[in-house]
Structure 1
């Protein structure tokens, strides 16, 4: 077979006349090209590492400074204010007191040149640090974010110009990391005051007085000691929250991560570029490899707010070659580098596919060939192989014990290592999914497939599992500990834009390019799974299936209006939706609840997320006015504007490091380390989030102009319910006229119903929009009356 021949680099035969060696030119060529590629990669990584380390300066700027200093020697203008002369006197020269230096001393001219270069280098390094710390000081200013949209003050305009000036040109992905400020620790008094303000609308007078007393006792007794340790950590660590957040919120959780932690992101909403499963997977995987190459080299542009203010890029480092490894007490995140294969799951079999040949990525057509070979494979799963991945869907402790006992040696260890060291995991599913307006619940089924599938056809521990469907649709399931949704969302947008607008397909729907039949076939991973291990797998599967079957999911497209109309109402789209969610929640449950909205803190080094507590006293007042038949529309609208402004201010505080919940969380962790018992912190950390919400970031318009290509929009993503009797709501504002909602709850709760809640949201959105419509009609009517009156006066 051609594949077997290509797999052998050389052959030799021993005979009486000597040894006859035959080399395979093709393999030797591939070995040579692989070596060249590896050295080129090292050179690029070194170059980009130097450029990022020197940013915002550049090597060329060093040359300019050196030339300027050298020129000063000939013009006799001492730009160094005598420093060059001091350096020159301390260089080795004739007459030195050290005999060894007298034997090998420099001439007068050489000393002058060397001293000028040394001074120029020192000046250049000082210049780098001056620019870097100046930029850090500038980025510590956040007044710009509190200004009204479209009303930029003169001071902010000056500040933006200074940031641009100190930011340098053509930054790489990690160029700004050293210049990002540290996340500040809020004062205890501010945090406690804001916390009490946030729970006031949720508690009756007696409960609130009790909470006030707990807060007062905490402030007087334990707060100062805990705060000192936290401030010390903020000086020592790059971020006082992120490592504890990852450790205690994600990795120490012993429950299943499927549904409870992992989240999903969908494909394009309306467009399916090809209906050939292998071809779509080939293009998407190739685009992922292109993204990974740029990521490893740091060549992506850093994300910047207002096109100027840089965001932290740390989370992107572990996007590929990363796996969550189970442990008895805590998991760990294992990140490797430069892995050249992925593992594919199809019909209960695991295949290893090499992603490189001859020192280059496999082309899309070559990847299509490999995936089609897997789809055509008719072999049966080995004993225990079919549901093996259910171990990653169940409780963590049984998986950790099974991993040590059954997967630490032999074939099982080799195959598990292949999965855990793979670039990512690919699942070739058997049932078509995707949004279909002619099919009821198509978005619901699509979401549930991405979120949990069959509970054994995704490797939930991988940084992400790419899921490919037989109708050409794709999606991803993401492990949450290593990063947050915007990181993966931006990656997928890049991949989809590359797939549709750069790679493309033939008229028959295949990947473009020649078909290479000479590639070695994908390799089946081999397992020897004992009966005891199979019982553990089945137990994990049954536990995971119970969770999956309990997920009540509803997704729908809100197309009555979108961002365009909301902005014409002169309010924030996010605040509009959050207040609609409060109105829908009250109509659905009859009470208000603690509400979680995620915001990012990536303007700080190693920043992740902060909580915005959306159920405010102002929001409650607005909702009660909407439900009060005696309230006028003018009163309701005034209360809406007040609540929206309050929400925007809270969101801005969270983004700028003045949130509540991460500070209280870290104070609680310090108290546990010190053995300090705090009833206040225990109470705060035990409160359930019955409504958990998140906005998927808007699309990167530099990749796809959705005004020009309105069909090429993503559907966003979602997550499972956080509380047993609550809702999880994710939404994405798409373009000017569409908002997609992803709603989850549990069938086991008699109080919740995702489809019903979706209807409540739709009604709430429309009711709020009606307030603005009535106001506009009134204003327009008034203007017409004035025009008529003015016309009569004129006559």
Structure 2
């Protein structure tokens, strides 16, 4: 997965409570469309540090051919500019995002979904789960009435559009591209009118009402009673092959075919799917307690046992010892939106959320098993999916890394951007672990634009190359190394600001490629431009590190899977007083990931000492 969580560079403030949630959506500025010339020049600058002279020359030749007046670039750019001017189009990225997320054909479990591990509360499982349910229902009621204040960051309102995908949203697998079933749509106008959630326990699913018939939320005591009834009903684990949730771990076209077979086999399966897909969210109760924090994170990322529906936008996971977190389907939700959601849920006691929502005791909520009828072939598919995904998880290596004595406050005391500090530390550690620098992705939030999501930043700059070289040069003294660090950090901050301003080449050039795929015959661009097979394009996008930040005091860790056979996924929580990371990589290169973690610890200490010596 290449999570687009977005890197926060300030703590969001909120507008006056009287401002409706979606008040700014139609007045936010549009995402700027870069010129072809700007993106071509930036692309050459971004990929250049990763190329040999021969590769750079070959890439420059392909860029020149692409952008020349009679080349394919101007034709594709004109088509994109025309699309951007089309009435009803919010952004030139309107088509890009569905393709990027819904077009992927591999499994989304572990590869695309991301997780947050919440801070521990010490509550028992049922109490913790009931509190999360009550808080989420309270959030939904506020959202339905547009009483969630719009986020304002450094004086700029941020798009709140993604909040429409928090509840009753489910990704639907397709043979060629997935779709999304969600409220606030033509098929389902306005907020969700669903009153239920789906609770998983031991591989079985149960519908549980969380709102009464008149829309009043159930009390915390009611919700605990309902969860207790689920646990009692699920005392015996589901029989092997009967947990349909396993199918959501399959590659998308395979899951689409299995879903079609479910619908064709028995008419009752349509109702069961409808129950799951329209549920406000899922709650996954686990009957075990992970051994430690890393295992807890792993279970949040790729735990299964038929106890997940990975297509659901939001799934709360609560373990037997009360530890809890969230697994998120990424197509409509970025980390910044989930952070705001989680901070609201966890920043106020559940009892207060319940009270403010108007919850009252109505007796134990209605619960009912969600039953799928399966023939032998479908049961075999579910068993095979379970085995395949278990192996896929086993083939993934992970590691948590925690710095209890370092955080953003320490970085700022060294007169440097905290994000620049850690990104430079990553590069130094990677050089020492793998003997080279490699393409590095960092997600940059762009929610100040209409329907804005994220921009793809490529971290390796000539200045970073020079910094790493200075750190590895025995002849370089401390003053030279500090100067190299300062120069590289300044270049990093500059590039991040450019990305926030929409001045980045990758998504723009990628969308031009997608236009050629979709409309090339009509536009007279019948073949993929050679630019997209150039060393620069292929190397810049071949991640060695995929990084994203999620700063919140309410979470311990966040994480996602790596994006390629040699990539290390780095999900980090950088707070004033602590710095926690969750690393992931294919098992075959686990040794390099563990070496990276060791070198990172050394690099952070080394850089702190270097900058302290000024």
Confirm or deny a common fold (TM above 0.5).
yes
Matches within 5 A, 1:81-230: 170-220=18-68, 221-230=71-80
Residues matched between the structures, number: 578
CA contact (8 A) 1:261 1:479 kept: yes
Superposition TM-score, scaled by structure 2 size: 0.90
Cα gap change, 1:455/1:247 in structure 2, threshold over 3 Å: closer, same or farther? farther
Q: Which residue of 1 aligns with 2:449?
A: 604
Cα gap change, 1:168/1:235 in structure 2, threshold over 3 Å: closer, same or farther? farther
Cα gap change, 1:607/1:474 in structure 2, threshold over 3 Å: closer, same or farther? same
Q: Distance in 2 between matches of 1:674 and 1:455?
A: 44
Give the drift of 1:219: 1.1
Matches within 5 A, 1:378-457: 378=234, 380=236, 386-408=242-264, 409-433=266-290, 442-454=292-304, 456-457=306-307
Q: Which residue of 2 aligns with 1:25?
A: none
CA contact (8 A) 2:197 2:283 kept: yes
2:444 counterpart of 1:593: no
Cα gap change, 1:493/1:501 in structure 2, threshold over 3 Å: closer, same or farther? farther
Q: Gaps spanning 5+ residues in structure 1: where?
A: 1-147, 150-163, 434-438, 506-512, 700-711, 776-795
Q: Which residue of 1 aligns with 2:582?
A: 742
Give the drift of 1:170: 3.5
Give the drift of 1:403: 1.2
Matches within 5 A, 1:124-523: 170-220=18-68, 221-236=71-86, 238-268=89-119, 271-274=120-123, 276-306=124-154, 308-336=155-183, 337-357=192-212, 359=214, 360-378=216-234, 380=236, 386-408=242-264, 409-433=266-290, 442-454=292-304, 456-499=306-349, 502=352, 518-519=363-364, 521-523=366-368
Cα gap change, 1:169/1:342 in structure 2, threshold over 3 Å: closer, same or farther? closer
CA contact (8 A) 1:383 1:529 kept: no
Give the drift of 1:539: 2.3
Give the drift of 1:514: 9.1
Alignment RMSD (CA, Å): 2.3
Q: Distance in 1 between matches of 2:516 and 2:499?
A: 23
CA contact (8 A) 2:210 2:365 kept: no
Q: Which residue of 1 aligns with 2:565?
A: 724
Q: Which residue of 1 aligns with 2:532?
A: 681
SS in 2 for 1:715: strand
Q: Which residue of 2 aligns with 1:583?
A: 428
SS in 1 for 2:613: helix
Q: Distance in 2 between matches of 1:427 and 1:242?
A: 34
Q: Which residue of 2 aligns with 1:693?
A: 547
Q: Which residue of 2 aligns with 1:3?
A: none
Superposition TM-score, scaled by structure 1 size: 0.70
SS in 2 for 1:658: coil
CA contact (8 A) 1:745 1:753 kept: no
Q: Distance in 2 between matches of 1:478 and 1:450?
A: 10
Q: Of 748, 756, 760, which residue of structure 1 is paired with 2:599?
A: 760
Bigger radius of gyration among the two: 1
Give the drift of 1:450: 0.2
Structure richer in helix, relative to its length: 1
Matches within 5 A, 1:585-664: 585-664=430-509
Give the drift of 1:396: 1.4
Cα gap change, 1:525/1:757 in structure 2, threshold over 3 Å: closer, same or farther? same
CA contact (8 A) 1:256 1:544 kept: no
SS in 2 for 1:498: coil
CA contact (8 A) 2:66 2:73 kept: yes
Give the drift of 1:738: 0.7
Give CA deviations for 1:346-375 in whole Å, capped at 9, x if unaligned.
012211101122521011111001001111
Give the drift of 1:386: 4.3
Give the drift of 1:542: 2.4
Give the drift of 1:385: 5.8
Give CA deviations for 1:762-793 in whole Å, capped at 9, x if unaligned.
11111111111111xxxxxxxxxxxxxxxxxx
Give the drift of 1:515: 7.3
Q: Distance in 2 between matches of 1:222 and 1:515?
A: 65
Cα gap change, 1:411/1:465 in structure 2, threshold over 3 Å: closer, same or farther? same
SS in 1 for 2:135: helix
Q: Distance in 2 between matches of 1:733 and 1:332?
A: 34
SS in 1 for 2:110: coil
Give CA deviations for 1:720-749 in whole Å, capped at 9, x if unaligned.
011111100011112x22111111111123
Q: Distance in 2 between matches of 1:520 and 1:678?
A: 59
Q: Distance in 1 between matches of 2:447 and 2:256?
A: 33
Q: Distance in 2 between matches of 1:188 and 1:562?
A: 40
CA contact (8 A) 2:197 2:280 kept: yes
Q: Gaps spanning 5+ residues in structure 2: where?
A: 1-8, 184-191
Matches within 5 A, 1:703-714: 713-714=554-555
Give CA deviations for 1:66-122 in whole Å, capped at 9, x if unaligned.
xxxxxxxxxxxxxxxxxxxxxxxxxxxxxxxxxxxxxxxxxxxxxxxxxxxxxxxxx
